[in-house]
């Protein structure tokens, strides 16, 4: 215990906030001048639910000009002055977090670091490029950019490009690998009972093993799949570097991509994705340059402020 407490002692006095998007929860730190680089060990200690504050991830708000990755972002979009430095609960770095980026903007507003009226848009630097976040309907809508199949040849030719085995599944299931800037592997199940039977304490096994690991989403199409032009799916997720979480924004986008692909021509372009922590919306939209982008919408809430003792 003495050893576990040390990384937090190094951060004594550090102000933080706690926030969540559909139950996907984060510790947030404001570090405009880039003087509070948090190590992997410190991030894991902060996110520890017994010995730390507890969260699925750590988000550091830093001015883009303070980080090498951020300076690349500024070359892409000089208005992306804020960078979301994201770490998973185990301290590993992730390229992107769809729930996190909404909570990030809620945190910037909470700290008075940006002005953003309802209807306004803020470009945010991330390791997966610039994401434009609009304040909308009491929450936020994020232009997540284009999606990609991780194994395009197999994805087009077959029902899946990999096999997933998980505790609670009778046999291995085919899965489709989708990049939303970070990697996802999506498995379709037949009914809610199968989703409920899953035990996601241990990482699902994915074959072939993805080079940088993967987040794994299990999805069940609603019955009927489409109502009033909007598709609906239920999802549980095992996140890379975390474990099972209440929600995953990039995972919801990847799940909608996979289900729409499997559903074929005529599938809707708007999807409600129900997760244990709530519901997020995914829409396929045409960007001004003519390419298809994925838009993720949902709530973002700051629930507490504190400082490390």
Ligand X SMILES: N[C@@H](CCC[C@H](N)C(=O)O)C(=O)O
Where do contacts with ligand X occur on this chain (CB under 6 A)?
Answer: 24, 57, 88, 94, 97-100, 182, 215, 239-242, 245, 248-251
Please report where in the chains the tokens 């769809």 appear, as a residue. Answer: 98
Q: How far is the CB of 148 from ligand X (least distance, A)?
A: 14
Residue 136 or residue 197: which is nearer to ligand X going by CB?
A: 136
- 251 marked as binding residue: no
- 102 marked as binding residue: no
Q: How far is the CB of 245 from ligand X (least distance, A)?
A: 6
Question: Which residues are CB-neighbours of 26 under 8 A, at least 6 positions away?
Answer: 18, 19, 20, 55, 56, 57, 58, 59, 99, 100, 103
Active site residue 248: yes
From 97, 101, 220, 253, active-site residue: 97
Active site residue 47: no
Residue 42 or residue 250: which is nearer to ligand X going by CB?
A: 250
Report CA 223 to chain centroid distance, whole Å: 26
Q: How far is the CB of 119 from ligand X (least distance, A)?
A: 24
- 306 marked as binding residue: no
Residue 134 or residue 239: which is nearer to ligand X going by CB?
A: 239
Please report where in the chains the tokens 């291995």 appear, as a residue. Answer: 172
- 215 marked as binding residue: yes
Please report where in the chains the tokens 């074929």 appear, as a residue. Answer: 264
Residue 9 or residue 93: which is nearer to ligand X going by CB?
A: 93
- 158 marked as binding residue: no
From 45, 248, 273, 280, active-site residue: 248
Q: How far is the CB of 259 from ligand X (least distance, A)?
A: 17
Enumerate the active-site residues. 97, 248
**Residues annotated within a binding site for substrate:** 24, 88, 98-99, 182, 215, 239-240, 249-250
């Amino acid at each position: 215990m003495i050893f576990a407490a040390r990384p937090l002692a190094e951060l004594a006095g550090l102000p933080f906030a706690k926030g969540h998007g559909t139950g996907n929860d984060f510790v947030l730190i404001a570090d405009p001048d880039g003087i509070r680089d948090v190590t992997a060990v410190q991030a894991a200690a902060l996110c520890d639910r017994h010995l730390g504050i507890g969260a699925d991830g750590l988000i550091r708000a830093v001015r883009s000009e303070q980080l090498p990755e951020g300076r690349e972002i500024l070359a892409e979009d000089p208005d992306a002055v804020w960078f979301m430095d994201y770490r998973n609960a185990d301290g590993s770095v992730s390229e992107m977090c769809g729930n996190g980026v909404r909570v990030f903007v809620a945190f910037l507003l909470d700290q008075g670091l940006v002005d953003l009226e309802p209807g306004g848009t803020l470009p945010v630097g991330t390791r997966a490029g610039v994401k434009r976040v609009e304040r909308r309907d009491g929450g936020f809508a994020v232009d997540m950019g284009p999606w990609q199949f991780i194994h395009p040849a197999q994805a087009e030719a077959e029902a899946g490009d990999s096999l997933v085995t998980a505790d609670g599944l009778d046999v291995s299931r085919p899965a489709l690998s989708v990049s939303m800037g970070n990697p996802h592997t999506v498995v379709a199940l037949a009914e809610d009972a199968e989703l409920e039977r899953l035990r996601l304490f241990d990482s699902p096994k994915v074959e072939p093993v993805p080079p940088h690991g993967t987040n794994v989403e299990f999805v069940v199409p609603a019955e009927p799949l489409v109502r009033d032009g909007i598709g609906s799916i239920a999802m549980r997720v095992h996140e890379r570097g975390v474990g099972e979480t209440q929600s995953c924004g990039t995972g919801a986008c990847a799940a909608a991509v996979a289900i729409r692909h499997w559903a074929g021509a005529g599938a809707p372009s708007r999807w409600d994705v129900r997760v244990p922590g709530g519901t997020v919306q995914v829409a396929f939209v045409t960007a001004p340059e003519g390419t298809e982008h994925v838009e993720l919408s949902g709530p973002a809430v700051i629930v507490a402020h504190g400082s490390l003792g």
